[in-house]
Structure 1
Amino acid sequence: MGTSSPQKLQKQVPKRKKYKNLFSLKTKKKRGKKFSKRKKGGTLTLPVIPPKSIFILLKSRNKKIYDRKIIDYKNRSLLQEYIYFTGKIIPKRKTGITTKQQRYLTKAIKTARILGLLPFVKKEKGFFR
């Protein structure tokens, strides 16, 4: 057995590829999970969007039929749950309802405001001095 020359050792070691950005190489596998999902929504009951002419209550696994509510401009108590005390409509990320339900809810609130069922701006007791 003899000693190997330094040239043979250099040939056996594979050359590394040079990357421009080593940070992007490390994070390629982890890109999908940046944020953990958390449940959105509050304690409000989710309303049901009725069909065009027929009002049908949909069944749900976790909620009973009579707990579900129908979005309608005449249902003032339901619409007031989705309005801030200042009169603004609560966004869907806070209420936890779907996009379609939010559109129907917004339309119903605006219709109720025009008909005079809901105020455009709610005023507190100390508003006028």
Structure 2
Amino acid sequence: MMQHSDQTSLTTVNALASELVSPYRPEDVDIFVGAARHEKTLKFIKYALLLDAIDEGWLYEQQGWMFNQLERYREALEAFERARNLGYANDGWLYKQKSYALDQLDRDEEALEACERARRLGYVNEE
């Protein structure tokens, strides 16, 4: 196990300040902040599911969130449904994320139902 003293701290990282910030510029409307990182995370989740070493429901929930971040809402809904079927049916955060995807797909009634379910399950918006 790595001891705290062995860990790399931000003060020892040799990086330029420009490398530590997002390359996003307001004029770059089509550039998606973090898209490459989200795609890498989706690959990790895919392989983690093959390993069967981590809670599949949690992985699908995280996959759904990544799909939301990438504006791939239909895929997000599929992932959330899998997570729900694998034991995350009482997870308010899942329903809040599902509500967001449904809203983006203009499925307003379903989005409202999912949002209400999140509220009933005690989800409190962190924003």
Q: Do Structure 1 and Structure 2 share a fold, with TM-score over 0.5? A: no
Question: Whose Rg is larger?
Answer: 1
The TM-score, its normalising length taken from structure 2, stands at 0.29
**TM-score by structure 1 length?**
0.29
